[in-house]
Structures are given as C-alpha cells and as structure tokens.
Amino acid sequence: MSRLDRRAAPITAGVIALLCALPPFLSSSWLLVMFLSFVWLVITANYDVLDGFLGHVNLGQGAFFGLGAYVATILLNVPSVQQLGALAPLLVTACALVVAALFAAVMAFPLFRLKGLYFAIGTLILIFLLQVLALNLTTLTGGSYGLYIPPSFFMSTFVGYYLALFLAAVSVGLNAYLSRSRLGLAFRCIKEDEAAAGSIGLDLMKYKTAALVVASLPTAAAGVLFALNSGFIDPGIALGVERSLLPPLMALLGGTGTALGPVFGTAIIRALETVFFHYLRLPVPSALFFGLTLLAVALLIPEGLLRSPRVKRLRAFRVLAS
Amino acid sequence: MARAIELAISGLSLGGIYALVAFAMSLTISTTRILNVAHGVFFVWGGAFFVILSQRLGLHPVASIAILVALFFAFALLFQWFIVRPLLGRSVHLLLVGSILATFGLAQSMESALGYGWVTWVDPYPVFASSLVLFPVSLGGVSLAGSRLVILAFVLLMVTGFHLFLQKTFMGKGARAMAQNFDGFVVIGLNPYRLSMILFSLAIVATAISGAFYVLAVPLNPYEGLPLTLKAFTVVVLAGVGNLPATLVAGAVLGTAEVITSQFFGTVWAPAVSLTLLFLVLVVRPTGLFGKGVY
C-alpha cells in the first residue's frame, strides 16, 4: 500500500458512508436523480475498463445494459418465473448476467479482430442491431410498445439507490484494482503496444475477452435494476444510442484510465443534464445546449480533468488521480 | 419484369446517393482520420434548407441549389476552424475519441435545432418533402419517376467530378498523398490544415446537395441524420476506405438490398440490412470487400 493509497482509503470510506446516509434527506425526485446517476456511473466505469486500460473505444457498452434490462423484463413476464415470488428477481438477475457474459464472450471473437475506428463502429453496431431486434420481434419484446414489469416486482427507488450504489462502488473498485494489479498491468501493456505485449507472451485474445466479459457484468446488472425500478422498458429507453455514447463522454471528461475519472465525469455531466432538462425553463430545446456542451468538452479537455496538466498541478488532486 | 426494372432503378438512385454521401465521408476519414458523426445531419439540413428555399420562399430550384452551396461552404469553413483544426494535432486514440464525441455533440445540437426551428417557424409537421413534380417517363410499360432519373444524373456528374479532382488536380494528388502517409505529407512541407479545409468543404457541400436531391424523391425527417451516417459508414467499410469505384458498387448493393428487403419482408427490417452487412464485412474483411483504398 503506497502513501497515496493510505490517504485515499479513509476518504473513499467516508464518501461511501455519506452516500449511504443520504437517502432519508432526499426528496423522491432527487433520490431518482441519484439512482440514475449511479446507474450511469456503473456503465461509465465499465466502459473505462476497455478504453482506459485496454485502449479500445467500445461504443457498445449500452448493449449490455439493454440486454440486461430486456432479459429481466421478459423473464419476469413468464408465469412460472412469477410463481417463485421473492426469488424471481434474483433468478432473473442471474439469467441476465449469464446472457450478457455469453453475449460478450461470443462477440469478443469477431470484435477484437478490429482495431481503432473500426472497433468503435463494430461495437456501435451492436446496440443498433439489438434495437432493430427489440423493435421487430414483437411477440418477445412488445416492439415499440415496450414491456411492463408485473407490479408485484417493482423495486422502490430507496432500495434501488443502495443496490445501485453498491454496483457503482464495485465498478469503481474494479477499476481501482485494475490500476494497481498484475491484470491491469497486462491490460495497459496491450494498450501501449499490442505487438510487443504479444511477443513477451501475453495471450492477447484471452485478456481482451476477459476485459469485455468482466465489463459487461455490472452494466447488465445495472440494466436489471433500471428495469425493475422504472417498471417499463422500450427500445428507446433501454437501448437508446445515448446509453452507448454518454459513457465515453463522461469517462473522457473525468479522465480515462483512472479509478475516479468516471466518478467526476459522471457527476459533472449528470449535474449539467439535471440543470438543463429539469431546472432551466429554456425557450429552446435542452438537447441543443447539451450537444454544445459535449462539443465543448471534447474540444477543450482532450485528456480529461484528472489527467489534464493544469489540474494535476493541484496537490489535492494528486491523491485522486492515482 | 417491369416491376423488377422499377425496383432496380429506384434501388440504384437510392444507392447512388448513399454512395456519394459515403464517398464524401470516406474522403475525409482517409485523409484526416476524423470520423464525422454529423455527416448525415448535414445531408438532412441540406434537404430541409432546399425545401425552405424552393418552396417556402418560392425560389427557382437551381437558384436554391446555388444558395445551398454558398451556405454550406460557410458551414464547412466554421466546422473546419472550430472542430477539425483542434483535433488534427492529437494522438491517434485521442483523435478518435475526440472526433466521435465532438461531432456527436454537434449532430445532436444540429438535429434538435432543426427539429425545433422547423416546428416553430416553418410547419408543425416535421417532414421535409418537395412537391416539385418532375416529368414522369414511360418506356415500354416501365413508368419511372423523373426525380429518380434526375438523381441518377446528379450522382454521375458528381462522381465524375470527384474522379477528375482526385486524379488530375494538384489538390487531389495531395489528398491521395495525405491518405497514404499523413506524416510523410507533413514532412515534405505540405499544409494538412489547408488541405483538410478544402476536403471538408467539398465533402460537406456535396453531402448537403445530395440531401437536396434526395428530398425530390423521398421525404426526410429531422432525426434521420445519425442513422444515415451509419449507412454511409456501411458503404465506406463495404468498399474499403477511399476507394471510389468500389464505393459506387457498394452503394448500389446497399440501396438495392434495402429496396428488396422492404419489398419482401416489410420496411421495418430495412435498417437491419445495412447493420448486418456492415458487421459481417467488418468481421470477415476489415479492409473492405475490394481491398484497401486506391482512389
């Protein structure tokens, strides 16, 4: 444990304790905002496993989210699953995780043949393909009308808050583990130079597949939580393109390849989003300003807050950027 | 038989437009490595402005096209100055992520601005369709919409233009050099900023005018830009980046495949065609069906 680690541990514990104590003081709409922010944080942190550590821009992270949401919702509409009562949510979560992991493992083979721009587009197609399937396999998914979750399985936002907080902590913890473990070192080796990593004996395909599968699991679980809480999903909600494109933005804003980069990025974007879409009664559509914000972030902070030289000079941030 | 010919013509004109838009995109990707997600949105804006100019303001179609060229040239200059220029100097990974995010942001704000502006000031019904009636042609039982033929003629003209630009002019040779070796291009003292300005102007203006011609035959709506970018990218990947003849073939293949799918399986499955094609080609031959770019 390095000196920085020893200082970071109590801060992290303090922040998590604070977040655990928060719900009783929040209004129901703020509770929902926080719940959704945790869900976004899970996707963003998982996205960063591939981008920050493995150097692959994965625009298909939202596909795992949608897959988790759809598998859970479809299964909860099966009568024999409903008879399990309290066990049913656990069962469907397990199924959703298995399906997402299988999907990731199967897709890893074709996807990792691609590099750079082509990998990005190849992964982006996944979410569009799933969208087309969800829209057109109407007997299974309800098509554009979407699917409802039976009311007895609704999850309150209060419970969802803690579960999503737990998932987010696990995801951020995973990235922190990667930033200081052998496995993470192997990932970063591959990011820096694939040919060199391969020539010193790293099994590239094994590590890449492992990264994709590991990154798919919390995201799929977050999809299940989201579906259970909202009670309704359709292709636009569960498989919208922004599920794939906002996480890269959040990770990039915070700084990729750092454990806390996604946390800062998600917090800033979610704050902006909440202000733009709920508080400012603008005469013109919020999406316009939101788009311009994305543009400005991408142009002005190329390497992300925690990696930007100006921020790194501040002492307090050196602890965070470890 | 007559039905088959009609399908072929409409598939070809649709595919020709895809090919043109895709080639404009491929020209910028291969040279600057910037993936412009807003490319399809420029197409939709072109269509919308054409409808405004030629119908709401009652200008002659040719005059409308001339105004469109000037307007989108100005757009392209702004785009180059504020987005392309800062991105060009970045390392490969940052350039890729930065270009996707910046242009996605631009695409989103352009889309919502157009959707909102159209509904507020032009028409509460957000569909851009031209009511321009062009001579219908009837040949031995095959009836053809004149608009389809105009589109085909436009595509042929533009493709010839692109071909001559790339093969005969100094700038075109520069573009080929930049695509083959970016560092070498800079080392021998050529200016990538200036060339990228010219290439992006060409690409954006060509795309916007394609949009104007497209609405002659098929109506557009404000939110079709992003799916269109993906379609253009399908064609680029099918053909291999920067391969003009192959881009034409790939565009025609995609257009015809979509028309046939809509005909036999219903229009809902048409988007799946390009996605599945794109995925398969990416996985089987990441450099495109026809090999790497030669122009």
Q: Does A249 touch chain B (CB under 8 A)?
A: yes
Q: CB–CB of B254/B15 below 8 Å?
A: yes
Q: Do B101 and A297 touch (CB under 8 A)?
A: yes
How confident is the model at residue B252, as a pLDDT?
A: 81
Residue among A211, A221, A70 nearest A131 (CA): A70
Mean pLDDT of A165-173: 93
β-bridge mates for residue B144, sequence order: B137
**Six-digit token pair at B94?**
């940052």
β-bridge mates for residue A232, sequence order: A148
Task: State the residue for tokens 């031959």.
Answer: B285
Residue A122: list chain B partners with CB under 8 A. 279, 282-283
* Cα-Cα-Cα-Cα dihedral sign, residues A142, A147, A150, A151: negative
Mean pLDDT of B48-74: 89
Q: Do B109 and A287 touch (CB under 8 A)?
A: yes
**Chain B window 105-164: which residues touch A at a Cβ cutoff of 8 Å?**
105-113, 115-116
Mean pLDDT of B133-158: 74
How confident is the model at residue B48, as a pLDDT?
A: 92
Dist. CA B78–CA A119, nearest whole Å: 29
Q: Please tell me the distance in Å from A132's CA to the nearest CA on chain B.
A: 6
Determine the residue among B30, B97, B265 to mutate to test chain A binding: the one whose Cβ has the most chain A Cβ atoms within 10 Å: B97
Q: Do A57 and B110 touch (CB under 8 A)?
A: no
How confident is the model at residue B259, as a pLDDT?
A: 77
Which phi-psi region, left, alpha or beta, contains residue A308 (left: φ > 0; alpha: ψ -120 to 50)?
beta
Residue B35: list chain A partners with CB under 8 A. 117, 120-121
Q: How are the residues of chain B apportioned to helix, strand and coil, as percentages rounded to the nearest 5?
A: 80, 5, 20
Instruction: Check pLDDT > 60 for residue A319.
Output: no
B213-239 tens-digit pLDDT: 888 888 888 888 888 888 888 788 777
**Spatial CB neighbours of A173, under 8 Å, sequence gap ≥ 6:** A259
Percent of chain B residues past pLDDT 70, beyond the cut: 91
β-bridge mates for residue B128, sequence order: B220
Q: Does A162 touch chain B (CB under 8 A)?
A: no
Dist. CA A173–CA A171, nearest whole Å: 5
Mean pLDDT of A78-100: 89
Confidence band of A222 (pLDDT split at 50, 70, 90): very high
Task: State the residue for tokens 């291009």.
Answer: B185
Residue among B147, B106, B121, B100 nearest B48 (CA): B121
Instruction: Check pLDDT > 90 for residue B54.
Output: no
Instruction: Check pLDDT > 90 for residue A165.
Output: yes
**Chain B window 81-110: which residues touch A at a Cβ cutoff of 8 Å?**
82-83, 86-87, 90, 92-94, 96-102, 104-110
Q: Does A1 touch chain B (CB under 8 A)?
A: no
Sketch the domain layout of chain A as residue ranges. Answer: 3-241
How confident is the model at residue B287, as a pLDDT?
A: 64
Of B90, B96, B105, the CB nearest to A116: B96
Least confident of A202-211, A254-263, B123-132, B206-215: B123-132
Q: Which comes out higher in pLDDT, residue A192 or A286?
A: A192
Mean pLDDT of B91-116: 86
Which phi-psi region, left, alpha or beta, contains residue A198 (left: φ > 0; alpha: ψ -120 to 50)?
alpha
Q: How many CA atoms lie within 13 A of B20 on its CB side?
A: 31
Indicate yes or no: pTM above 0.95: no
Mean pLDDT of A193-200: 87
How confident is the model at residue A75, as a pLDDT?
A: 92
Mean pLDDT of A267-281: 79
Least confident of A22-26, B35-39, B198-202: A22-26
Q: Do B90 and A124 touch (CB under 8 A)?
A: no
Give the chain B residue nearest A284 (alpha carbons). Answer: B116
Q: Does B275 touch chain A (CB under 8 A)?
A: yes
Instruction: Check pLDDT > 60 for residue A3.
Output: no
Instruction: Check pLDDT > 60 for residue A322.
Output: no
Q: CB–CB of B229/B39 below 8 Å?
A: yes
A209-220 tens-digit pLDDT: 999 999 999 999
Give the chain B residue nearest A54 (alpha carbons). Answer: B93
ipTM associated with this complex: 0.77
B257-269 tens-digit pLDDT: 877 887 777 777 7
Of A249, A288, A292, the CB nearest to B101: A249
Which one of A37-51, A108-122, A131-145, B242-256 scores highest in mean pLDDT? A37-51
Give the chain A residue nearest B286 (alpha carbons). Answer: A114
Dist. CA B44–CA B231, nearest whole Å: 14
Query: Is residue A147 helix, strand or coil?
Result: strand
Q: Does B63 touch chain A (CB under 8 A)?
A: no
How confident is the model at residue B47, as a pLDDT?
A: 92
Confidence band of B295 (pLDDT split at 50, 70, 90): very low
Average pLDDT value over all residues in chain B:
83
Confidence band of A61 (pLDDT split at 50, 70, 90): very high
Least confident of A24-28, B35-39, B147-151, B165-169: B147-151
